[in-house]
Structure 1
C-alpha cells in the first residue's frame, strides 16, 4: 500500500467478497502482529502508534464510503481522544464522532447502523457518538471530558468544511475558556489521585491513570493547548514554561511509558494498562532487567518504572503551578511579599528571594520546609523554587549532614504541631530526604515483592507517619478512638515519628532489617544530640517494632505467662504506649485491606493485659491459678444472676479442665454453660455460633465427645463455607470431651451479619460432625490472582514450649483453601492431639502455630516422630 488511496481501495475490494468480515478481521490481526514484530522495547514507538492510526484511518474510510456511498461527503467522520492525536496503541480505544450535517438526511441515518455494526463485527469496538454541531456544543458545555476529547479532533474522511465549523465552535473564546478548563482539570486530577490513594508506588500500578502516569502528561498537554492552541509540547520552551533540558526529561519519561504500554498491549493482546504481577517478569526480561543468573530482576525493573513516574509527577506539579499563575492569577497582584531575608510569598507559594539563596546558605534547603509548617496559609513551594531545589541537592553533602544547625532544623521539622506528613512527603518528592539521610535513599522507590506490603518502602514509611499523625488529630478520632486516647499519653510524639522513619530503613540491605535499622537509628540520634533516654526508646522501637504484632497473632494472649513474658520485654507502660501506636500505624500502612476488627481487638487486648501487668508490677505476676479462679467466679456470678442453679453449673462444668477456665473469659464460659445445661446427651455434638465477640469476630463453639477427624471436619467445613479462621482453641478433657472454639470472619474481613448465614453454618457443621464426612460442595475460597506469583516454600519448625506442656509446631507456607483441614488430616494419621492453634495470614503467607502432644497428652520429644510428621505435612501440601 503505497498511497492512502491505494490502501483504501484495497480495503474496498474486500466488500466484493462473501467473507468481507473475515478479511477485515484478518487484516487487523495481521497489522497488530506486524506492529508487535517491529516493536523493540529499547526504541521509541511513536512511528508505530502513527502507523496503527493511519491503518485504522484507511479501514474506516473504506467502510464509510462503502456503507454511506453518496452521503459520505455530506457528513464527517472524526477521530477524537488518543486516536485523534495519532497515538493508537495495539488495543487502544478507537474513539470517533460521526458529525451530522445540519440538514435532515433520513436516508443517511438509515444506512448508518450498518456502518456502525460492521465496525463491531470486524472487532474494532469503537467508542462512537452521532451528533450535530449543536449537539456537540451542548454536550461539551455540560462536560469537560467531552470538550477535552473534541480538542483532539482530526478529520478521517467526509465533509471537511463541516469538521472545520465544529473546530471553530469549540475554541476557547466561545466555550470553556482556559481558566475554567484548567480548574476543571485540576479537580479531575485530584479525584483521580484520590482513587489511587494519592500514590503511584503500589505493587500493581496503572501506567495510564495512576499518579505520574500518562494521564498526568495529557493533563499538561490539554491545559497548555486550551490556552495557547499549541499543537505540540515543544512550545512549552517557546512560552518559557520549561528549559530545553527539562523538556527532554518530560519527553524521555513519556516515551518510556509509551514503550511500556505498547509492550503491555502486545503481551496481553488487550487494552491493559496495569502492571500486574502476571506481566512484570516478562516485561523485566523484555526491557533488559536481568540478575546475575540472567533471570528477570523484577525489583530493578519496577524501581526503573517508579523513578520514571516520580519524574513525571514532579514536572506535572511544576507546570500546572506555572499554568495556574498565568491562566488564573495573571490579572491579580503577583508581587512578592517577603517573610524572611531568604523567602517571599508569591500567589500563595513560597519563593526564594534570589536564585543564589541555596548556594549562599545551603541550610535553607531545610528551612524552607519548616517555614511551610509554621505558615499554614502558604500553599506550597513555587515552581521556580522547586526547580532550584532539584538543582541544589548536591549541596547536601557530608559536611551539611554533620552541621549541628542542619541537625536542629531537621529535628525541629519533626517537632512541629502541624504539617509533618505534608512536608516529609514534599522532602521525599524533591529528593531532600534521600540526600539528608543516605540510608533513606536505599529505600526510595524500593519495591517489596510480596502481597503483604503493597507500597514501596519509602511510601509505606510515610504512610506510617501519616497514620501516627492522625492519632493526634481530633478530626480523625472516630477512626481509632483508643489510639487517639493513647496518643494523648505520649510526652514526645517526635520520638514516634523518628522511630517510624527508621523502622524499615534497612530493608534490602540483607540480614535482619530490625537489627540493622537499630544501628542506623542510633547513629542518627547521636549525630542529632538527642537525649540518651530518647535515643534508647527510639532504637528499642526500631529493634522491636514487630514484637507486639508477632505476640498478638502467634501466641496465646489469654495465658498469664505469655503476658508476663511480653511485659518483661516491654518493661514499662511508657514503652508499651509507644510500641502499641507504632504497631497499629505500621500494620495499617502496610496493606489497609489486612486491617480488620480482629487485629484491632487482638492488639487492644494485648495492650490492656500488658498495661495491667506493668501497672501491678513485674515482680507480682498474675498466677495461672489466680486467673483461673477469677474467670470461674465471673462466670458463676453471671450464671447465678441469670437464674442458673449452682447444681446445674456444677453438672455442666463436670468435663471442664483447668485449661478451659484459664483460656476462656467469664462471659464466654457463661455462654457455653447455658447452652450445655439446656442440652441432652443426644443433642451432641453441640454447635454454637455467636456473631459478635469482644474480638470483633464471630465465634463457633463445638462441644462433643472426642472422635477421630474432629478438627479436620470442622476446619474443612468452615473453609468450604467461605469463612476465614482467625484463631482456634482446642481443649480435650481427661475424660475425652472436646471443647473447640474457632474465631471466624467472612472473606471480606467482616463479621457475620445474617441470621440465615449463622443457621446455615451451624447446621452444616453439625451435620458433617454427625456423618463423620464432608458433604460435597463447591469451595468458595479462591486463591487470588496475585498470590500465584508469590509461592512461599513450606517451612516447618518445632519450638520449645515454655510451659513444657506441648510441642509447638510453626508452619510457614502459601495460604490456600483447606490448609487447616490438610494439617488436621496429618495429625490424625500420626495420632497427634492438637491442643491449640494460632492462625496468622499475612497477604498470601500463612504463619500458623500448632500446640500438639502425643495420644497420651505428653509433649513429643522423639525426633523420628517429629520428622515423620514434618515429612507427611510437606508431602500433603507441596506434593
Structure 2
C-alpha cells in the first residue's frame, strides 16, 4: 500500500481523500442509539494503517532502530472523530542521522491533515520526564507499538514498571490529588447545565482514573478484570460499561455536530443532541425535550461518579492501607474501617431498615469518620426498596431524619451523600422528580437538586465563623434564629415542585406542610417552613421590582412577613437562594437592596404594624437632616430655600437626606449656562454609582440618557425621574459596569459625565458600535415580550411590568414610546436576570392621572411590542 500511494504524483491529495472517505464512512455508520465502541476502534486502526504506511516510506532506512508508539487516548484505541492523535517516537541515544527523515515524516502528517501531538525521546528521557510528571507517566502507561523496533518498545515497558518509578501507592495519591483539583474547577459538581463530558465530575475522565490506577497496580489490560479481582460484581461492571457507552455516544455526536474536538455540552448543541438521541417526538424542539435529554445525561454521570467514589476507596484500602487496616466498633450496626463506616454484616439493613438513615446521622456526629465504605454504599443501593411507605411513616425514621438537620456539622455533606446514594429520593419521593432535573434558562446554572443542596450549603455557611468574612450580616442574623433546622428544611423544599404544572411555590408549600406534619413538627414550626417555601421569592422580587424607599411598600411587605422571626428566616433563605442560583447574579447592589429592605421592614415591625410611618413625618425628617448637613457645608438657609422652592414633597420622600444634600449643593452652585448638569458619585455601600442629571425638561431626556449609558457599556439598576414645578428634571440613575464592577476610576467618571452632557446638549446619540454583546448562551433563551398594567392607588400611578429579552437600547426604546404617547415616567425599577429583563415603570398620563382605560392600555402595549420586536437585520445584544 505504501508504494502504491507514494508512487502517485498527487500523493498528498490521495492521502487526504483516503482520510476524508474513511471519516465519511464512519460518520455514515454512526447511530446515536447504538454502541460506538467499534467506531472509535476502527478510527484508531485506520490511523495505525496511515502512520505505518508513512513510516515505511519516510523512515525505511531507520525503521529497525526507531519505534513509533501511540500514547494517550490513541494508545487506548479510543479515537473519536476529532480526537488528538498523540504519538511518541522512541530512539536510541547514539542515533544522529534520523532527524531529517523524522522531520519529513511529521511534516507530511501535518500536510495530510492529521495534526499529530508528537514527541521524540530516548528511553532515558521518557523515564526522566515520567518521574517528574505523573501525567507523562500516565500517557506512557497507555503506549502501544504501531510499528518499528519492538525490542526498544519492550525495553521502555521494563523501565516504567511500578518497581522502578511511580509505585502504585504514590501513583494513586497523585491521581487523587489531580482529581480533587479537577473537581474544584467545576465547583465540585457534575451538575452544571453546560457540563464538560470529559473533564467534569462523573465524566469520562473519572472512568480513566479508575483504569489508570487499577492498571498501575495490577498491570491489567482491561477494566473487565475489576470483576476478577473482586472490586465490582457483574451488575456494577455492566452499569459502568453502560454509562461509558452513553458518554461515548454523546461525545461522538458532539464531535460530528461541531466538527472539532468539543467536550462541552453547551446550550448551542443541546437541542440538536436531544433530537438525535430520540428525546424529541416530532419536529418541534421544546425545552422539555432538552431537559429530558440532560436529565438522562446527568443521571448517567451520577452513576459513574458514584462508582468512581466506591472503586477509588477500595483501591485505597488495597494499594495504600494493605494489611494495615484499622477497625473500630461504632454501634450494634456499624464498624469503622480506616475511617469509613461499614455494616457489621450484610443483613443489617434487612434486620433494621432504620439504619439506612442512622448511618448519615452517625457521620454527622463523628468528625473522625471520612464517609461510607464502598461495600456498604453498594448495600445501601441494594436496600433502597426497604424505604417504602411504611418506612416513611415510621415515627422513629421521622425523628432520625429531623435529627440529622439539627446537628452542628456535616449536614450539607450528608445530604449530598444521601442524594448520591439515592436515599433522599427514596425517603422523599417528590424529591425524585428534581434529581438531575435541568432548568432550561440562562440564570440557573445547576440542576434543581444540586441548586437545592447549594442553598443548604450557603445556609450552613451563615452558621460558621470561618465564613463570617464573606457575608457578616447574614452570620449576625443567623445567630438570632432559634431553630436552624427549619431554615434547612425550607431550603430543601423551596424548589421541590419545579417541573410540575402550576406555581412551584404554592405546590411546594403543600408538600412541605404535609412533610412537617408527618414529622410531628409543631404547628408554629410547620407554618414557618411552609410559609418560607411559599414566599421564598417575595423578598427578592420586592427589593428588585418595587420602590423600597416608599413607606407604603415597606408597610405592605411588613404586613406580609408579620414578624421579625419570619423576616430573619426569609432574609437568610433569600440570600442563600440567589447565591446558589448563579454566582454571577449576586453583587453588591443586590446585597445592599436586600439589606435596605430588611432594615426598613425590621424597623416597621419593631414599631408595630398599627403605627406605620407618616409620609409627612418622613418628608420633614429628610428635609431637616439634609438642611443641617448643607448648613454645615456653608450654604445659607436662603440658598437652600431657593433650591427647594419648586421641588415637590415627593422628592424628599424618594431621596435620602445625603442624596438631597448632594443635589442641592450642585444646583445652588450652578447657573443656567451650566445646564445640563451631570454629576456622578460612587455609592460604595451599594457597589454602584449614582448619575444625577439636572436640566430643563425635554421629552427625550430619558431615552437620550439611557441610550448614552448603554453605549458607554453601563448596566442601569434603577432610575428615578422627577420634574420640578418650574419644569426642570431631577433624574437619577444607579449604574454598574457591564461586568458587575463598580465605577472607581476618575477618568471613567469624567468620560461618562462628558458623554452624557454632550449628547443632551446635541439632543442626539451618535451612531457608534455598541460595546454590549449578548452572551453566547443568551441566544438560546428568547423571552417573549409581555406588557402588564397594574395600579398603585397610594401614589395615583399606573405600573407597567415589562418582561422581555434583554438587549441593547431597551430602556431608550421604552422612553421613546412614552414620549410618543404623552406618558409621564416617574421611576423605573430595572431587573435583569441572565438574558431576562423584568422592568417596572411607574407612569401617569399627561394630566398626571393613572392610565386605567383598557383601550389606552392596549395602545401602549402594542406600541411597546412593536418597538421591542427584534429587527430581522439585527441580532439582539445585551443592554442595560
Give the shorter-chain TM-score range: over 0.9
1:804–1:859 CA contact under 8 A, matched in 2? no
- Report the CA distance between 1:831 and its aligned residue: 1.7
Residue of structure 1 equivalent to 2:6: 12
Change (3 A) 1:210 1:704: same
- Report the CA distance between 1:442 and its aligned residue: 1.3
- Report the CA distance between 1:97 and its aligned residue: 1.4
- Report the CA distance between 1:295 and its aligned residue: 4.3
> What pairs with 1:256-335 in structure 2 (closer than 5 Å)?
256-291=246-281, 295=285, 297-334=289-326
1:224 to 211, 214, 218: 214
Q: Please say if 1:788 is aligned against 2:782.
A: no
Q: C-alpha separation between the residues in 2 aligned to 1:286 and 1:495?
A: 44
Aligned-pair Cα RMSD in Å:
1.4
- Report the CA distance between 1:500 and its aligned residue: 0.7
Per mean C-alpha deviation after superposition, the further-off stretch among 62-71 and 450-459 is 62-71
Q: Residue by residue, what CA displacement relative to the aligned partner does 1:546-590 show, whole Å, maximum 9, x if unpaired?
A: 110010000000111101110111011111000000000000011
Residue of structure 1 equivalent to 2:877: none
- Report the CA distance between 1:819 and its aligned residue: 1.0
1:483–1:581 CA contact under 8 A, matched in 2? yes
Residue of structure 2 equivalent to 1:212: 202
The 3-state SS of whatever aligns with 1:99 is: strand
Q: C-alpha separation between the residues in 2 aligned to 1:337 and 1:181?
A: 28
- Report the CA distance between 1:21 and its aligned residue: 3.5
Q: Please say if 1:744 is aligned against 2:727.
A: no
Q: C-alpha separation between the residues in 1 aligned to 2:17 and 2:725?
A: 76
Q: C-alpha separation between the residues in 1 aligned to 2:102 and 2:755?
A: 58
Residue of structure 1 equivalent to 2:345: 354
Q: Residue by residue, what CA displacement relative to the aligned partner does 1:267-304 show, whole Å, maximum 9, x if unpaired?
A: 11100011111111111111111247764611111111
Residue of structure 2 equivalent to 1:243: 233
Per mean C-alpha deviation after superposition, the further-off stretch among 41-50 and 295-304 is 295-304
Residue of structure 1 equivalent to 2:873: none
> What pairs with 1:486-497 in structure 2 (closer than 5 Å)?
486-497=477-488
Q: C-alpha separation between the residues in 1 aligned to 2:59 and 2:668?
A: 84
- Report the CA distance between 1:132 and its aligned residue: 1.4
Residue of structure 2 equivalent to 1:723: 714
Q: Please say if 1:375 is aligned against 2:366.
A: yes
Q: C-alpha separation between the residues in 2 aligned to 1:478 and 1:693?
A: 17
- Report the CA distance between 1:632 and its aligned residue: 1.4
Q: C-alpha separation between the residues in 2 aligned to 1:493 and 1:78?
A: 60
Residue of structure 1 equivalent to 2:114: 124
Residue of structure 2 equivalent to 1:3: none
* Unaligned 5+ runs, structure 2: 871-880
Residue of structure 2 equivalent to 1:701: 692
Q: C-alpha separation between the residues in 1 aligned to 2:745 and 2:594?
A: 27
Per mean C-alpha deviation after superposition, the further-off stretch among 781-790 and 356-365 is 781-790
Q: C-alpha separation between the residues in 2 aligned to 1:167 and 1:302?
A: 42
Per mean C-alpha deviation after superposition, the further-off stretch among 733-742 and 191-200 is 733-742
Q: Please say if 1:660 is aligned against 2:651.
A: yes
1:217–1:312 CA contact under 8 A, matched in 2? yes
1:495–1:538 CA contact under 8 A, matched in 2? yes
Residue of structure 2 equivalent to 1:439: 430
Per mean C-alpha deviation after superposition, the further-off stretch among 386-395 and 646-655 is 646-655
- Report the CA distance between 1:118 and its aligned residue: 2.9
Residue of structure 2 equivalent to 1:140: 130
Per mean C-alpha deviation after superposition, the further-off stretch among 421-430 and 797-806 is 797-806
Per mean C-alpha deviation after superposition, the further-off stretch among 72-81 and 778-787 is 72-81
- Report the CA distance between 1:736 and its aligned residue: 1.4
TM-score normalised over the length of structure 2: 0.97
2:799 to 808, 824, 830: 808
* Unaligned 5+ runs, structure 1: 1-5
- Report the CA distance between 1:690 and its aligned residue: 1.0
2:317–2:325 CA contact under 8 A, matched in 1? no
1:690 to 660, 667, 681: 681
The 3-state SS of whatever aligns with 1:625 is: helix
Q: Residue by residue, what CA displacement relative to the aligned partner does 1:625-670 show, whole Å, maximum 9, x if unpaired?
A: 1111111122111111122222222222234222221111111111
Q: C-alpha separation between the residues in 2 aligned to 1:698 and 1:131?
A: 59
Per mean C-alpha deviation after superposition, the further-off stretch among 261-270 and 699-708 is 699-708
Residue of structure 2 equivalent to 1:203: 193
The 3-state SS of whatever aligns with 1:691 is: strand
2:588–2:685 CA contact under 8 A, matched in 1? no
Q: Residue by residue, what CA displacement relative to the aligned partner does 1:484-507 show, whole Å, maximum 9, x if unpaired?
A: 000000100001001111111111
Per mean C-alpha deviation after superposition, the further-off stretch among 494-503 and 286-295 is 286-295
The 3-state SS of whatever aligns with 2:212 is: helix
Per mean C-alpha deviation after superposition, the further-off stretch among 110-119 and 92-101 is 110-119
Residue of structure 1 equivalent to 2:51: 60
The 3-state SS of whatever aligns with 2:98 is: helix
Q: C-alpha separation between the residues in 1 aligned to 2:748 and 2:89?
A: 53
Q: Please say if 1:763 is aligned against 2:757.
A: no
Residue of structure 2 equivalent to 1:860: 851
Q: C-alpha separation between the residues in 1 aligned to 2:104 and 2:752?
A: 55
Change (3 A) 1:633 1:115: farther
Residue of structure 2 equivalent to 1:615: 606
- Report the CA distance between 1:476 and its aligned residue: 0.2
The 3-state SS of whatever aligns with 2:625 is: helix
Q: C-alpha separation between the residues in 2 aligned to 1:23 and 1:854?
A: 76
The 3-state SS of whatever aligns with 1:83 is: helix
1:452–1:590 CA contact under 8 A, matched in 2? yes
Change (3 A) 1:21 1:835: farther
Q: C-alpha separation between the residues in 1 aligned to 2:198 and 2:55?
A: 31
- Report the CA distance between 1:844 and its aligned residue: 1.2
1:12–1:62 CA contact under 8 A, matched in 2? no
2:5–2:11 CA contact under 8 A, matched in 1? no
Q: C-alpha separation between the residues in 2 aligned to 1:708 and 1:246?
A: 71
1:11–1:59 CA contact under 8 A, matched in 2? no
- Report the CA distance between 1:862 and its aligned residue: 2.9
1:693–1:699 CA contact under 8 A, matched in 2? no
